[in-house]
Amino acid sequence: MDRITVLVIDHQPLFRAGVRQVLSKELGFDIIDCDPTQDPLPVIEASLPDVVLLCSDFATLSTLELGRKIMRYYPGTKVIVLSSDPNDEKLFKMIKTAAVACLNKSSSAEELAATIRRACAGEYPVNERLATRPVVARPTVEPFQDMASAGKITDGMTTPLTQRETQILNYVASGYSNKRISRVLGISEQTIKNHVSAILYRLGASCRTHAVVLAMRNGWLSAERTHEDKVAVY
């Protein structure tokens, strides 16, 4: 099994040391850390970590911007946000950075390690948290629209999605996990994973969030369509 390199970014040395200690007990993990008051990007450039644990309790704007930069310059690195108060508003903001998960800082070592492994396996645990909030999940589409309308992401788009891929991407935009999409559509979870991989490839997207933004920007996905599909399955 390939080793997983994890970079911990937090302004508290004791917290970084604590995370290093608990994760160092997990097989296959290499842990490094840095202080966010210093520029973390050179550390990421030198180490190319598989996962960055980005703590959101230092200045919110700087956290969001750092998350965006990591995804922009190092799309192969997964971002997991650690927060003392991962409420819905903060969760939605973190999704804008293409974070794959958002955990409470008080989460157990087992949950943190499992989330890191899932992220490295290509999963997006953040969608599962949204799926448990049917009343508030719909606003997650609004940040996607804001990003698309502002033109913050520019990629060359040439190949349109198939009808099935568009359908699946609508559910992704609503916060559905692969497992939940497979249950709704009546096809295997592995088939959903294959479709998602194809979507990322076709759109040249670095992650599911990026794919949603690009599809919306090109008019292949809309908040209205997403909401209609979502209401239809309840």
Task: Please report, in tens digits, the pLDDT of each residue of the chain (234 residues total).
Answer: 589 999 999 989 999 999 999 998 888 999 999 998 888 999 999 999 999 998 876 545 577 788 888 877 887 898 998 888 766 666 666 665 667 888 888 889 999 999 999 888 877 776 566 555 544 344 444 444 444 444 444 444 444 677 888 899 999 988 899 999 999 999 999 889 888 887 886 777 778 888 887 787 777 776 544 444 443 433
User: Given 92, 123, 154, which residue is the final one in a domain?
Assistant: 123
Is 133 a member of any domain?
Answer: no
Q: How many residues does the chain have?
A: 234
Is 47 a member of any domain?
Answer: yes
Is 224 in the same domain as 165? yes
Is 106 in the same domain as 16? yes
Is 147 in the same domain as 117? no
Instruction: Give me the domain span that covers residue 97.
Output: 4-123
Is 113 in the same domain as 167? no
The answer to whether 119 and 51 are in contact (CB under 8 A) is: yes
Q: Which pTM does this prediction carry?
A: 0.60
The answer to whether 103 and 115 are in contact (CB under 8 A) is: yes
Is 115 in the same domain as 154? no
User: Given 94, 123, 152, which residue is the final one in a domain?
Assistant: 123
Which phi-psi region, left, alpha or beta, contains residue 33 (left: φ > 0; alpha: ψ -120 to 50)? beta
Is 128 a member of any domain?
Answer: no
- Look up tokens 């390939």; give the residue: 2
Q: DSSP strand E in the chain: where?
A: 4-9, 29-34, 51-55, 78-83, 101-104
